């Protein structure tokens, strides 16, 4: 026989139902409950009921109520909002278990409703995008899948609840939304009204491709100007007039608001008239002392666009920290600057002192571009991170940079990415030499995916003696000979090394021997990627022996794509013996099918 429900349980059920009916009939008596019963109640309410209970709480009643608490007399004072805080966290965890760890905000009530509104919007978008949809966005029904979390578990039985429509959710919880992602269908006057209560800080907009969405978008921006500090446009078609309209709305900010900090355009088409840029866009770039990061990625931008942006920034007193122009076609962008005619000191009068990160990945930059960039570095005296990957700059290109570093050993560069730059062994040997002369040693370097061969191993071995933290030497054709040489070179402790990537090098058993020698020498090593190296099965026992003899922090050794016959079922001893934070250290090939040797020949 089923156990009979307790009286307390029945009371809580009844209060819950009343609370869900909303604010027309508040239940003041509930706030007079003794603390332990009130605590039980809070812990059992669905989100909407909890929200109503918290909102209707008479001011100060919590104080009065705690004074009558015996616990208080015995000196155990509890944080007043602690119970609500814990209840919100529990509800969040129940609904989005996978997001709990990544949720950075501690205000669980706020992120609960923000996330909830995003779920409602994503669901409503499906309805609004149907070709036959012609109704009002606010009237779109929210599914029981969502409602059962915030109202009743069996929501279908409560059809008369007024929470079925999207508009209810924005009216009630809109003020909790700080960050939202919106599709074009939500850029209309009706949605702007719906979102009146939102105080958005960050907005991601997708698929603005026709004029009709632009004005409502601008209205939405204006409406949130006080708080908005980040705007991202993805898959948009941005004509000069659209850019002008958007930037004009952003410029309406007065001096007292916080200002835009992050502006980003990705995978869009940005059609700029080469002769005259939209004036509001230029003013926006010039105006922003607040602007910290600018991104224009994967949007078919040409050298003219990049040059204009760069010179506007140089001439304004910008405080920009990060500029990302990756995946465009900006080759030639610095060619018309007249770097060589003046002395460094004169040139540096125009400068982007604040710039720390520059990404130029995937722009088809050649050796002339690299040479011009080397001249331009004097204008970026605090640059720490430079990404030039996926550009065919070749050895001549890298030599221009080398000569800059040689003449400016004080340059603060910390992270350099030169993946897939068509470099050769000689160029990289010179580079490694010059990098070791910098006053502040590099933290991370990637020279992956350049066909360097085993000849570079000796120089890499020397370089490993520098305090490098992260090194990527994947896909360079080191081979067994290269790894033999590397083994010979490492003799001293590598105190700073955190990550190393030696994947796709056809290293075979020698790659495993190198790694097993490296592990005890690198006490701080967190991860090693040795995938696709044609490693035979005895590699595993080599590495196990090496791991056993060290007390490092190593979290992961990626061994996928090697021709070994490891088993990955949970009975395998490796899973029990070698774990870190509940996860296995060895990432092994999943099935025999993924054991195929990786072929890195083009
Ligand atoms: C929402 O649901 C109600 C009741 O089931 C229905 O009458 C209404 O047409 C639905 N609205 C939309 C936009 O589908
Ligand atoms: C410039 O940006 C940095 C962050 O990169 C910030 O700490 C600083 O306050 C900003 N300066 C001004 C004048 O806005
Ligand atoms: C890249 O720009 C050059 C001119 O600088 C042009 O000739 C070339 O067609 C462009 N490539 C692409 C893929 O747009
Ligand atoms: C590099 O690219 C620029 C612009 O696309 C071109 O004008 C120049 O001739 C190229 N230089 C070399 C050496 O290929
Ligand atoms: C190169 O390797 C380092 C260290 O493992 C890693 O942090 C970085 O993401 C790698 N780069 C790429 C493009 O995988
Ligand atoms: C190692 O480098 C390869 C190729 O560049 C990349 O695919 C892989 O993600 C990198 N591993 C890590 C851990 O970053």
Q: Helices 82-95 and 108-128 sit at what angle, rounded to 10 degrees?
A: 30
Q: Ligand 1 pocket: which of 130, 141, 159 to mutate (most atoms <8 Å of CB)? A: 141
Q: Is residue 18 in contact with ligand 3, taking CB distance under 6 Å?
A: no
pLDDT at res. 1: 52
Q: Helices 35-44 and 47-55 sit at what angle, rounded to 10 degrees?
A: 140
Helices (H), 199-252: 214-223, 240-251
Q: How far is the CA of 368 from the centre of ligand 4 (A)?
A: 6
Residue 39: pLDDT band with limits 50, 70, 90: confident
Q: Which residue, among 307, 314, 256, 316, has the nearest Cα to 284 in the 3D structure?
A: 316
pLDDT at res. 255: 55
Query: Is 562 a residue whose pLDDT tops 60?
Result: yes
pLDDT at res. 140: 93
- C-alpha 474/C-alpha 478 separation (Å) is 9
Q: How far is the CA of 504 from the centre of ligand 6 (A)?
A: 9
Query: What does the pLDDT look like over 114-127, one tens digit per residue?
Result: 999 999 999 999 99
Average pLDDT over residues 361-386: 95
Name residue 387's beta-bridge partners: 359, 417
Structure tokens at 480: 């067994």
Q: How far is the CA of 600 from the centre of ligand 6 (A)?
A: 14
Residue 212: pLDDT band with limits 50, 70, 90: very high
Structure tokens at 123: 């669901």
Q: Is residue 529 in contact with ligand 6, taking CB distance under 6 Å?
A: yes
Residue 74: pLDDT band with limits 50, 70, 90: very low
| Least confident segment among 174-183, 265-274, 518-527 | 265-274
Q: Ligand 2 pocket: which of 288, 318, 354 to mutate (most atoms <8 Å of CB)? A: 354
Strands (E), 221-342: 230-234, 237-238, 262-266, 269-270, 293-297, 322-324
Q: Is residue 321 in contact with ligand 2, taking CB distance under 6 Å?
A: yes
Query: Is 67 a residue whose pLDDT tops 60?
Result: no
pLDDT at res. 34: 82
pLDDT at res. 287: 80
- C-alpha 549/C-alpha 521 separation (Å) is 11
pLDDT at res. 289: 77
Query: Is 496 a residue whose pLDDT tops 60?
Result: yes
Q: Is residue 269 in contact with ligand 3, taking CB distance under 6 Å?
A: no
pLDDT at res. 155: 57
Is 290 strand, coil or helix? coil
Sequence-distant (6+) residues with CB within 8 A of 571 are none
Q: Is the CB of residue 105 less than 8 Å from the CB of residue 111?
A: yes
- C-alpha 131/C-alpha 550 separation (Å) is 63
Residue 553: pLDDT band with limits 50, 70, 90: confident
Q: Which residue, among 180, 168, 178, has the nearest Cα to 52 in the 3D structure?
A: 168
| Least confident segment among 12-26, 82-96, 439-453, 459-473 | 12-26
Name residue 501's beta-bridge partners: 472, 529
Q: Which residue has the higher pLDDT, 140 or 601?
A: 140
Q: Which residue has the higher pLDDT, 201 or 56?
A: 201
| Ligand minimally distant from the alpha carbon of residue 396 | 4
Residue 2: pLDDT band with limits 50, 70, 90: low
Structure tokens at 213: 């969405």
Q: Is residue 308 in contact with ligand 4, taking CB distance under 6 Å?
A: no
| Ligand minimally distant from the alpha carbon of residue 291 | 2
Average pLDDT over residues 333-347: 64
Across all residues in the chain, what is the average pLDDT?
86
pLDDT at res. 463: 95
pLDDT at res. 105: 66
Helices (H), 68-188: 70-73, 82-95, 108-128, 144-150, 166-173
Highest-scoring range by mean pLDDT, 15-19, 467-471, 565-569, 575-579:
467-471
Q: Which residue has the higher pLDDT, 87 or 160?
A: 87
pLDDT at res. 64: 45
Average pLDDT over residues 131-141: 89
pLDDT at res. 57: 78
pLDDT at res. 338: 64
pLDDT at res. 564: 66
Q: Is the CB of residue 418 less than 8 Å from the CB of residue 447?
A: yes
- C-alpha 125/C-alpha 106 separation (Å) is 29
Average pLDDT over residues 452-479: 96
| Ligand minimally distant from the alpha carbon of residue 365 | 4
Q: Got the DSSP string for 370-425?
A: HHHHHHHGGG-TT--EEE--S---HHHHHHHHHHHHHH-TT----EEE-TTS---H
Q: How far is the CA of 509 from the centre of ligand 6 (A)?
A: 20
Residue 132: pLDDT band with limits 50, 70, 90: confident
Query: Is 345 a residue whose pLDDT tops 80?
Result: no
Q: Which residue, among 445, 474, 469, has the nearest Cα to 533 in the 3D structure?
A: 474
pLDDT at res. 79: 41
Query: Is 343 a residue whose pLDDT tops 60?
Result: no
Residue 213: pLDDT band with limits 50, 70, 90: very high
Query: Is 346 a residue whose pLDDT tops 70?
Result: no
Query: Is 103 a residue whose pLDDT tops 80?
Result: no
Query: What does the pLDDT look like over 221-252, one tens digit per residue?
Result: 999 988 999 999 999 999 999 999 999 998 87
Q: Is residue 362 in contact with ligand 3, taking CB distance under 6 Å?
A: no
Average pLDDT over residues 157-165: 71
Q: Is residue 397 in contact with ligand 4, taking CB distance under 6 Å?
A: no
Share of the chain above pLDDT 90, in %: 60
Give residues (CB < 6 A) around ligand 5. Answer: 419, 446, 448, 470, 472, 499, 501, 527, 529
| Ligand minimally distant from the alpha carbon of residue 332 | 4
Q: For atom 10 of ligand 5, which residue has the closest CA?
A: 472
- C-alpha 220/C-alpha 236 separation (Å) is 17
pLDDT at res. 102: 79
Q: Which atom of ligand 1 is nearest to the CA of 135?
A: 13
Q: Is residue 319 in contact with ligand 2, taking CB distance under 6 Å?
A: yes
């Amino acid at each position: 026989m089923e156990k009979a429900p307790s009286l307390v349980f029945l009371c809580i059920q009844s209060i819950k139902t009343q609370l869900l009916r909303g604010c027309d009939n508040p239940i003041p008596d509930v706030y007079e409950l003794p603390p332990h019963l009130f605590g039980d109640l809070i812990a059992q309410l669905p989100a909407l009921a909890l929200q109503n209970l918290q909102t209707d709480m008479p001011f100060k009643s919590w104080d009065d109520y705690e004074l009558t608490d015996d616990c208080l007399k015995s000196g155990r004072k509890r944080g007043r909002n602690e119970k609500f805080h814990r209840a919100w966290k529990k509800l969040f965890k129940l609904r989005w278990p996978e997001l709990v760890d990544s949720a950075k905000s501690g205000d669980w009530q706020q992120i609960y409703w923000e996330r909830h509104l995003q779920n409602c919007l994503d669901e409503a978008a499906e309805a609004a995008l149907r070709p036959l949809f012609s109704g009002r966005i606010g009237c779109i029904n929210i599914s029981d899948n969502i409602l059962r979390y915030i109202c009743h578990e069996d929501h279908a039985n409560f059809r008369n609840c007024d929470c079925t429509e999207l508009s209810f959710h924005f009216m009630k919880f809109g003020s909790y939304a700080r960050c939202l992602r919106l599709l074009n269908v939500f850029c209309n006057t009706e949605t702007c009204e719906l979102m009146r209560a939102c105080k958005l800080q960050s907005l991601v907009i997708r698929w603005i491709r026709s004029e009709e969405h632009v004005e409502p978008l601008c209205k939405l921006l204006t409406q949130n100007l006080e708080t908005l500090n980040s705007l991202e446009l993805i898959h948009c078609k941005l004509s000069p007039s659209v850019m002008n309209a958007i930037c004009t709305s952003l410029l309406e900010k007065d001096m007292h608001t916080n200002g835009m900090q992050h502006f980003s355009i990705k995978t869009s088409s940005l059609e700029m008239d080469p002769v005259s840029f939209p004036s509001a866009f230029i003013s926006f770039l010039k105006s922003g002392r607040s602007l910290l990061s600018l991104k224009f990625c994967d949007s078919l931008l040409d050298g003219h666009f990049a040059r204009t942006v760069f010179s506007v920034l140089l001439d304004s007193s910008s405080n920009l920290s990060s500029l990302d122009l990756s995946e465009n076609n900006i080759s030639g962008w610095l060619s018309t600057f007249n770097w060589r005619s003046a002395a460094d000191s004169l040139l540096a009068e125009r400068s982007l002192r604040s710039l720390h990160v520059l990404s130029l990945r995937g722009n088809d930059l050649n050796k002339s571009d690299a040479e011009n960039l080397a001249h331009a570095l004097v204008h970026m005296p605090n640059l720490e991170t430079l990404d030039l990957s996926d550009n065919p700059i070749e050895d001549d290109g890298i030599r221009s940079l080398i000569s800059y570093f040689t003449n400016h050993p004080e340059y603060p560069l910390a992270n350099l990415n030169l993946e897939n730059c068509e470099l050769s062994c000689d160029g990289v040997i010179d580079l490694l030499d010059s990098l070791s002369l910098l006053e502040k040693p590099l933290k991370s370097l990637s020279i992956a995916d350049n066909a360097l061969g085993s000849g570079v191993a000796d120089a890499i071995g020397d370089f490993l003696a520098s305090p490098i933290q992260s090194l990527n030497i994947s896909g360079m054709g080191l081979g067994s000979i290269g790894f033999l040489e590397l083994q010979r070179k490492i003799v001293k402790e590598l105190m700073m090394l955190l990550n190393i990537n030696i994947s796709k090098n056809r290293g075979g058993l020698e790659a495993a021997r190198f790694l097993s020698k490296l592990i005890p020498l690198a006490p701080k090593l967190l991860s090693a990627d040795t995938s696709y190296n044609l490693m035979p099965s005895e590699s595993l026992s080599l590495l196990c022996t090496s791991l056993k003899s060290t007390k490092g922090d190593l979290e992961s050794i990626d061994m996928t794509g090697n021709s070994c016959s490891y088993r990955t079922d949970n009975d395998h001893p490796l899973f029990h013996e070698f774990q870190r934070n509940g996860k296995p250290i060895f990432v092994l090939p999943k099935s025999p099918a993924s054991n195929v040797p990786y072929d890195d020949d083009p």
